[in-house]
C-alpha cells in the first residue's frame, strides 16, 4: 500500500514515516506544495496525507489541483488550525477526512485504513476474496480450509494488493510501485521470490502467472 505524505515539519515527517512503514505502508515523503502537486499526479498512491500549511503554498490548493485532474486518491488533511472553517474548506475541496494536530499516530493509521477500505467499497477490517480472509490488523491470512498463516510485512502488502482487486492483472512494475517507495531500487526478482513464498503458504493455484503480463489473484476457486 503506497502512500504519499506531504508534511514540511521534518521531525514530524520522519516520525510519521517510520510509524507508517511499520504499519505496512510504503511511504513517499515531500515537504513542498510544488512537489506534492507533481507526485500526486504522476504516481499511483492508495492514499495521501496532506498538511494544509506548506511553505510554498496551501495544501488545499494542492488538493484542488489533484481533483481538477480527476485524481480520486483518498486524502486525509492535517492541520494545526482548530477553526471549523478550515475543515469545511478542506472537505469542500475534495478531502475525505481530516485530523488536527497534535494527534496520535495510531489514530492516523486507523483513519488511513478506513479511507482505503471505503475506497475499495468495504467497511470490514478483514479482506475477503475467493474463500481467503486477510486480517489487516494481525497481518495473517486464512485459507478456505480454515488454516491461519502469519505474514511478513512484504508478504502482507503484496497479498493485500492482489486480494483487494481479485481478477485484476498486476504487472511486476505495478506491484513494485505499491510495495516500495521511490528511494528503493528492488528488482523484478523480488516479486517472483515473494510470489513463490505466498504460494507455499496459501496454495499454488491461488495466484496465477500470466506470461508476459503479470500476476492475478484467482477468482475461480
Cell numbers representing residue 52 in the block = 494544509
Cell numbers representing residue 20 in the block = 507508517
Per-residue confidence at 221, pLDDT binned at 50, 70, 90?
low
Task: State how far the Cα of 17 lies from the Cα of 29, in Å rounded to an integer.
Answer: 8
Task: State how far the Cα of 162 lies from the Cα of 169, in Å rounded to an integer.
Answer: 9
- Asked whether the beta carbons of 131 and 205 are under 8 A apart, the reply is no
- Asked whether the beta carbons of 53 and 29 are under 8 A apart, the reply is no
**Continuous segment of H or E residues that includes residue 118:** helix 105-119
C-alpha torsion sign, points 194, 196, 200, 203:
positive
| Mean pLDDT lowest among 55-59, 62-66, 129-133 | 129-133
**What percentage of the chain has pLDDT greater than the value 90?**
53
Per-residue confidence at 34, pLDDT binned at 50, 70, 90?
very high
pLDDT single digits (tens) 137-151: 888 999 989 999 999
Q: CA gyration radius for the chain? A: 18
Cis ω before 102 (30° cut-off from 0): yes
Quote the pLDDT of residue 17.
95
Interstrand relation of 132-135 and 148-150 (parallel, antiparallel or unpaired): unpaired
Per-residue confidence at 183, pLDDT binned at 50, 70, 90?
low
Quote the pLDDT of residue 81.
63
Per-residue confidence at 154, pLDDT binned at 50, 70, 90?
confident
pLDDT single digits (tens) 79-122: 876 667 778 888 899 999 999 888 999 999 999 999 998 888 77
Domains of the chain: 2-120 (3.40.50.2300), 126-217 (1.10.10.10)
- Asked whether the beta carbons of 30 and 39 are under 8 A apart, the reply is yes
The beta-carbon contacts of 126-134 under 8 Å, at least 24 apart in sequence, are: 127/160, 127/163, 127/164, 129/163, 129/164, 129/166, 129/217, 129/219, 130/166, 130/206, 130/217, 130/218, 130/219, 130/220, 130/221, 131/221, 132/163, 132/202, 132/206, 134/159, 134/160, 134/163
Task: State how far the Cα of 101 lies from the Cα of 11, in Å rounded to an integer.
Answer: 14
pLDDT single digits (tens) 124-138: 778 888 889 998 888
Amino acid at each position: 500500500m503506497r502512500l504519499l505524505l506531504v508534511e514540511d515539519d521534518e521531525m514530524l515527517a520522519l516520525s510519521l514515516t517510520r510509524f507508517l512503514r511499520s504499519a505496512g505502508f510504503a511511504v513517499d515523503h515531500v515537504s513542498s506544495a510544488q512537489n506534492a502537486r507533481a507526485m500526486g499526479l504522476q504516481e499511483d498512491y492508495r492514499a495521501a496525507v496532506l498538511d494544509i500549511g506548506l511553505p510554498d503554498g496551501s495544501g488545499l490548493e494542492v488538493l484542488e489541483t489533484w481533483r481538477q485532474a480527476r485524481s480520486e486518491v483518498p486524502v486525509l488533511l492535517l492541520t494545526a488550525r482548530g477553526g471549523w472553517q478550515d475543515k469545511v474548506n478542506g472537505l469542500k475541496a475534495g478531502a475525505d477526512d481530516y485530523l488536527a494536530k497534535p494527534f496520535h499516530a495510531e489514530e492516523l493509521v486507523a483513519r488511513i485504513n478506513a479511507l482505503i477500505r471505503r475506497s475499495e467499497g468495504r467497511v470490514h477490517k478483514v479482506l475477503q476474496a475467493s474463500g481467503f480472509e486477510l486480517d489487516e490488523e494481525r497481518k495473517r491470512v486464512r485459507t478456505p480450509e480454515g488454516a491461519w498463516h502469519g505474514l511478513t510485512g512484504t508478504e502482507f502488502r503484496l497479498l493485500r494488493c492482489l486480494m483487494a482487486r481479485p481478477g485484476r492483472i498486476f504487472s511486476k512494475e505495478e506491484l513494485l510501485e505499491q510495495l516500495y517507495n521511490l528511494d528503493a531500487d528492488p528488482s523484478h526478482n523480488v516479486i517472483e521470490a515473494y510470489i513463490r513464498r505466498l504460494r507455499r503458504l496459501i496454495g499454488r493455484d491461488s495466484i496465477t502467472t500470466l506470461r508476459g503480463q503479470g500476476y492475478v489473484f484467482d477468482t475461480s476457486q
